[in-house]
Each structure stands twice: as structure tokens, then as C-alpha cells.
């Protein structure tokens, strides 16, 4: 009997980190049959950008991967998100299971597995996690991750403290990365939230943001377009 994995009329989004194409395709087919939206990682050297862009409700993670293993990526995900992570691996000895849980995994499924068992595990995890509602919304660029739910900013595990205005300015620049954002647009955006800033105040805020980003290793992250505004390339 097919179980409905839909949540409030919307599809659950499942993020698959598996470098075996056949296994990834099999899981994808099964999940899509059960009404899920699925994304399989393409660039194993920079998984976080795809994770942030997709905004999944659950992650299925292999241990043995190119570049960095699943433990590493689970740790990176845990720095910015509480999304449930289920490890799927043939390395199912007690040491690997304990290691997975210690890195923040929520469950572990040994390969080879029965697709019905996988579906049951996924369904149970989704229901247990999202019965109380609430998705995580993240904006990421070049390793810098902005969490729109709690207004936190992290880079390589280091948290960057921002004032309210600094957060709003950086959010606008990151969401429109690759495009020049005019100074008057930024000021109008801040005015909408009753944060009245003038030209000088905006310049001071940009300078402070740059110093904070420089301190964690992101030098020249924001570029000034003289007489126009700012851009994150």
C-alpha cells in the first residue's frame, strides 16, 4: 500500500548525497513514486551550495564519497541546519553507526536495503520532524551561509555577529548576488522596516560588514561600484 508523503499539500524535498549513480537513481525513482521532490548532488566538492539552494526537508547521506566523506558533510550541514540526516552505507559496523550519530545523524540504514524499509524510515522521520511545522530557509554563497529563520551568519563553522541593519544589508546583497544593488535601493529597503539610514550611515554599515567578513577570511567579499552601489560576485 502506498503511503502519502505529502505535507500540507506540498511535496517533501529529499536531498541525496550518493556517488553510486545506480543506487542514487533507484532511491530517486522510489521517492518520486511516493510523491517526493528529489535532488541528487552533482558537485561532490561543494555539497553545501546545492544543499542550501534546494532547501530539503531530509538528507540521505552515504559515508564514502569523493573529496570529503559523509561525516564531514553531515558536520557542515549541522553548522547551519537541523534538517534530519539519514546515513545509508555498506559500512554498517558499530563504529560507523556511532560515528554517524555523533556527527549529528538521525538514523542509519545499512546497504543493501529494501526500498520499502527505506520509505518507512523516511516517512517516519518526516512525520516526527515536521508534525510541528517550520522549514529552514538559507541563503549561501562561497561558503557563507545566512539563516533567514534565526538571522545567523556562519562561515566554515564560525559565526559572524551582525546588527539588525547589517543583517538586512547582507541579506539583500546575497539574495541578489551577481547584480549591482544601488545604494538608494538598500536605504529604501531599510526604511521599509522603519530603520531610517542616510548615506553616511549606510557607508558605516558596509564598512563594518566588510571588517567582520575580513575577520573570518572573506576578504573583498563585497565590491563597491563607485557612484552606484555594491555587488557580491
Tens digits of pLDDT across the chain (233 residues)? 444 454 444 468 899 999 889 999 999 988 888 788 899 999 998 899 899 888 898 999 998 889 898 888 988 888 888 888 998 877 666 676 777 777 777 888 888 888 878 887 888 788 777 754 445 577 777 788 887 777 778 887 788 888 888 888 898 888 888 888 888 888 887 776 555 567 888 889 899 999 999 998 888 999 999 888 999 88
Cα angle 115, 137, 35 (rounded to 5 degrees) comes to 30
Helix, strand or coil, per DSSP, at residue 41: coil
CB 160 within 8 A of CB 170: no
CB 209 within 8 A of CB 166: yes
- Please give the grid coordinates belonging to residue 210: 566588510
What is d(CA 106, CA 81) in angstroms, rounded to the nearest whole number? 13
Helix, strand or coil, per DSSP, at residue 219: coil
What is the greatest pairwise CA distance in the chain? 64
Q: What pLDDT, on a 0 to 100 scale, did the predictor assign at position 3?
A: 46
Q: What pLDDT, on a 0 to 100 scale, did the predictor assign at position 8?
A: 45
What is d(CA 202, CA 175) in angstroms, rounded to the nearest whole number? 18
Q: What pLDDT, on a 0 to 100 scale, did the predictor assign at position 2?
A: 45
Q: What pLDDT, on a 0 to 100 scale, did the predictor assign at position 40?
A: 94
Q: What pLDDT, on a 0 to 100 scale, did the predictor assign at position 131?
A: 58
What is d(CA 168, CA 170) in angstroms, rounded to the nearest whole number? 6
DSSP assignment, residue 149? T
- Please give the grid coordinates belonging to residue 146: 545566512
Neighbouring CB atoms inside 10 A of 150's CB total 6
Q: What pLDDT, on a 0 to 100 scale, did the predictor assign at position 1?
A: 40
Q: What pLDDT, on a 0 to 100 scale, did the predictor assign at position 93?
A: 62
Amino acid at each position: 500500500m502506498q503511503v502519502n508523503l505529502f505535507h500540507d499539500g506540498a511535496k517533501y524535498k529529499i536531498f541525496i548525497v550518493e556517488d553510486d549513480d545506480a543506487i542514487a537513481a533507484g532511491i530517486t525513482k522510489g521517492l518520486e513514486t511516493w510523491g517526493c521532490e528529489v535532488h541528487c548532488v552533482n558537485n561532490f566538492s561543494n555539497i553545501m551550495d546545492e544543499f542550501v539552494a534546494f532547501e530539503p526537508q531530509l538528507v540521505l547521506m552515504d559515508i564514502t564519497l569523493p573529496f570529503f566523506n559523509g561525516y564531514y558533510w553531515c558536520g557542515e550541514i549541522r553548522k547551519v541546519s537541523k534538517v534530519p540526516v539519514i546515513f545509508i552505507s555498506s559500512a554498517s559496523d558499530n563504529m560507523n553507526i556511532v560515528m554517524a550519530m555523533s556527527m549529528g545523524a538521525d538514523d542509519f540504514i545499512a546497504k543493501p536495503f529494501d526500498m520499502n524499509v527505506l520509505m518507512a524510515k523516511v516517512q517516519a522521520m518526516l512525520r516526527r520532524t515536521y508534525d510541528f511545522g517550520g522549514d529552514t530557509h538559507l541563503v549561501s554563497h562561497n561558503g557563507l551561509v545566512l539563516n533567514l529563520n534565526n538571522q545567523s551568519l556562519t562561515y566554515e563553522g564560525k559565526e559572524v555577529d551582525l546588527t539588525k541593519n547589517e543583517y538586512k544589508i547582507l541579506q539583500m546583497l546575497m539574495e541578489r548576488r551577481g547584480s549591482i544593488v544601488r545604494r538608494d535601493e538598500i536605504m529604501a529597503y531599510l526604511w521599509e522596516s522603519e530603520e531610517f539610514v542616510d548615506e553616511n550611515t549606510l557607508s558605516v554599515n558596509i564598512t563594518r560588514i566588510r571588517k567582520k567578513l575580513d575577520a573570518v577570511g572573506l576578504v573583498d567579499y563585497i565590491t563597491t561600484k563607485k557612484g552606484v552601489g555594491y555587488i557580491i560576485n
